[in-house]
Amino acid sequence: MTEKRLLRIGHRGAPSHFWENTIQSIQKAIELGVDMVEFDIRRTLDNHFVLFHADSIRRFPFRGKIGRKPLRDLLEHRVGPGERIPLLQEAIDAIKGKAYMNIDLKAPGGEEDLVEMLVRKGVENQVLVSSNFAKSLKRIKDLEPKIRTGISIPKDWFGVSRVRDNHPVSWSAIWLLRHTIRFWALRRIRAAEADAVMVYYRLLTPNLVEKLHNLGMQVFAYTVDDARSIQKVIDMGVQGIASNRPELLVRGT
C-alpha cells in the first residue's frame, strides 16, 4: 500500500455516478481506475456488517437505528433505484484483486468478527481500516498486525464538512481546528497505534502534513471534490485523496 506516491480513492465508491456505498458505486469506482475504494460499515442487531454511512434509516417503513435492526429487515430496504444495502463480504468480493479497500468502521464493536472475515477472505494485506474510535483500531491491530489502520481526525466538529466554504461559521470553525489539531492529534494517534491519519482536507496545512510525516504517519485527505483543491492537497505531499468524484483524481493525477 506504499508503492505509489498517491492513492486515488473513491469515497463510498463513485457517488457522482451511483448511490453511495452500493455495489454499483463500488464497481464504477473500479471501472474509473481508482487505486482504493472507501466504504462505510455498520453492524446489525444480529451481528452482520453492512455498508451504510448514517447511524439510522429515516425512510418509512424502515425507519430506525441500523444497530437495532436484524439483517433480514435491512435487506428489504432500497437505498437507490432497485439497490439494497450490501453486506461487507459482497463489497470485499467486488473489490478483491482489483483495488485496495478502505473500510471505515462507523461504530465500535465487532472488531473480532471484522478481523476474522478479512483474514478468511485473504485481504488482510489489501485493506486499510479507518475509524474515529481509537480503541477499535487498537483492538484490530492487536488481533492482526498485518491489517493497516487509520485514525480519522477529527470527528466532524462544528459540522465543518457540511457547511459551505463561504459561511462565516465554517471559516471560524476551520481556523480554530487548524490551530488546535496538533495538540490532540498525537494523543489519538498513540491510542490507536495507527499507521495512517485521515484528515478532512480543509483542515490540512503543509506544516501539519510535515508533522504527521515526522511521526511516521501516512496522511490521507477527505473528501476533495474539485480539481483546484485536489492539486492543492497533492502539493502538500499526502499519500492518498478520497473524492466523491473519483474521475477527477484519475484524470488529473
What number of residues does the chain have? Answer: 253
Range of the domain at 243: 7-252
Q: Which CATH number belongs to the domain containing residue 56 in this structure?
A: 3.20.20.190
Residue 62 is predicted with a pLDDT of 75
Helix (H) or strand (E) holding 221: strand 218-222
Neighbours of 150 (CB within 10 A): 26
* Total domains in the fold of the chain: 1
Question: Is residue 130, in this structure, part of any structural domain at all?
Answer: yes
Angle between helix 134-143 and 111-120 (nearest 10)? 40
Question: Is residue 1, in this structure, part of any structural domain at all?
Answer: no
How does pLDDT run along the chain (253 residues), one tens digit per residue? 655 579 999 999 999 999 999 999 999 999 999 999 999 999 999 999 999 999 999 876 778 999 999 999 999 999 988 899 999 999 999 999 999 999 999 999 999 999 999 999 999 999 999 999 999 999 999 999 999 999 998 655 555 555 555 555 566 777 777 777 777 788 889 999 999 999 999 889 999 999 999 999 999 999 999 999 999 999 999 999 999 999 999 986 6
Which alpha helices (DSSP H) does 76-235 contain, by range? 88-95, 111-120, 134-143, 168-192, 206-214, 227-235
Question: Is residue 117, in this structure, part of any structural domain at all?
Answer: yes
Question: Is residue 230, in this structure, part of any structural domain at all?
Answer: yes
Question: Is residue 151, in this structure, part of any structural domain at all?
Answer: yes
Q: List the grid coordinates of 5.
A: 506516491
Half-sphere exposure of 163 (CA within 13 A, CB side): 15
Question: Is residue 104, in this structure, part of any structural domain at all?
Answer: yes
